[in-house]
Structure 1
Amino acid sequence: MSPGRRIRHYRMLRGMTQKALGIAAGFPPETADIRIAQYESGARTPKRELLCQLAAPLGVSPSQLTVPRIKSHEVLKQLLLALEDEYGLTVTIMITKNNER
């Protein structure tokens, strides 16, 4: 899920309008809704600093608005195991005949 879709998801969960989120993030009231609409639609991509500004009024951590970059199978495995520990998920890692996962 893209950062824009994540922003929209959490905004809707909080019952916030685009304008309210934009103002809470520090945008001028005249353009607050337009800016949030641009991020949610993917027309613009927020930088890390802005994700932090948006995360606070949404009540989430900035990392919840970003798309994780997984660079290897081992990194993915560690991420899945961490999710298993933190959220009680059950992760099954299967290795095929060709040693593919």
Structure 2
Amino acid sequence: MSDSDEGRTKSWTEDPYFTDALYALRDKREHGLRFLTIDLDAIGEVMSNGDGPAYRLLDAMVDIQETEGYHGKRGAPRVLLATLLRLAEISKTV
């Protein structure tokens, strides 16, 4: 999630990995989605990739900690939900 032009970490709010997933999740929930299922075998390989879901979530949480401080942190549940949807997509269950 690096922004090489400015030498800083891009905000999670500017990263389509999270924002597109949140839009998709909102749409799916409006159409009745209530559950996300994650296939642990399917996600096992990608979880340890350097640019995989775990590390993207970590980068986003660091951004949230740095920009939202201890007051609020409203981004934390959003990036978690976006990551869960991405894991369900990898699992091919949504």
If the TM-score is normalised by the length of the shorter chain, which range does it land in? under 0.3
More helix per residue:
2
More strand per residue:
2
Higher relative contact order (CA 8 A, sep 6+): 2
Question: Scaled by the length of structure 1, what TM-score is found?
Answer: 0.24
